[in-house]
Structure 1
């Protein structure tokens, strides 16, 4: 069953409550989701208390220029990889001063997939310092919209879990 806007809103509300309760701020560094995580978080009134910035770094050039992702990582591993999302989180933390940052880079489709990284492959990372970053990869079924919705939902839940367990 496809994720609804209501499910995304609820996941955003749950993360917002944790951020507010702990007086933390967040920055997003998004590629395949195109700012959707930041959108969900800022749909809530009062979100300026916890959302510092949302960076849509869709191109490799934006990843290097805005987030400090290295050319070496992009060339060696590709944009959809663990090293790149880790560097995206570190860059978002450095650029914004947020308490926590999240990063997403994936292949939403319908094209662009490969044998190693089929359509639906999405790398996620979140963390509060360069030495405290978690990264995970998931492969989601469905069309472009479904992959992106699942990615947004996954990262909202993932960073909430990270914060609740730290």
Structure 2
């Protein structure tokens, strides 16, 4: 069983999800986001009284007010393969207001796995399936060519999140084709 609640953000409705004990956040999805709830194997049961949701909403309030809340404030337990978990750990290390490329993440994952190289597309799949958007900052990943490629919540929301963090998005381009559109 998983519990859920809704948070009304400047980007629209966000669904938060936690485990049955209410101890770990397992999901944060923007309305209409690709892969919404895909990492969970049971349906969500609405429960607004979970204490963890109060902490998560407070974190989001501070984030959207321009503060830099720490990831460590919330117990995160995203569900996914070992590979995806590794990619999400790298995402958690991207500093507020900075970006990294899919290729750079692929190099980090290759080093972790003791491989010569790693596909940027494999990394892109893991980034795109991040079940705890915003808090695990997948919006901070950009294409090597300077494109704002790929964000399951939509490119306009990715731009707004980056701008909120003070990133100059004018230096990036929108992809001309592909699944990010």
Greater C-alpha radius of gyration: 2
Higher strand share: 1
Higher helix share: 1
Fold match (TM-score > 0.5):
no
What TM-score does the superposition give when structure 1 sets the normalisation length?
Answer: 0.30
